[in-house]
Amino acid sequence: MIEIRPATPADRPAIVALLRASNLPLDGLDAALEAAVVARRGDAVIACAALELYGDAALLRSVAVAPDHQGEGLGQKITQGALAVARQRSVRRIYLLTETVVMVRET
């Protein structure tokens, strides 16, 4: 069974490992941990996502799934978990930046 829940400081090493495995930046991660979620299977963190909060806007960042769990729909599930955090924090716009596209979603 997979559990999606808010990240805790104890999850940081596993999140760092996921981001490194996905070649994603670590800059700003510590500030974003307060609005991060993780997916766990048993004791293992297998996916993560975080938000950088800017008033009623946020940047979706650090979305990563462990390589051996890709293709299971976890990317969508962990992103939905991050969007739920955004709604709880009254975020109205969420931005996603990649190397090829910029997206904005109104909540």
CATH assignment of the domain containing 22: 3.40.630.30
Contacts of 9 (CB under 8 A, 6+ apart): 33
Structure-derived torsion over alpha carbons of residues 7, 93, 80, 52, reported in degrees to the nearest 10: -20
pLDDT digits (tens, 9 = 90+) for 64-100: 999 999 999 999 999 999 999 999 999 999 998 776 6
Query: Whole-prediction pTM value?
Result: 0.89
Domain that holds residue 89: 2-106
Q: What's the number of domains the chain is made of?
A: 1
pLDDT digits (tens, 9 = 90+) for 35-59: 999 999 999 999 999 999 999 999 9
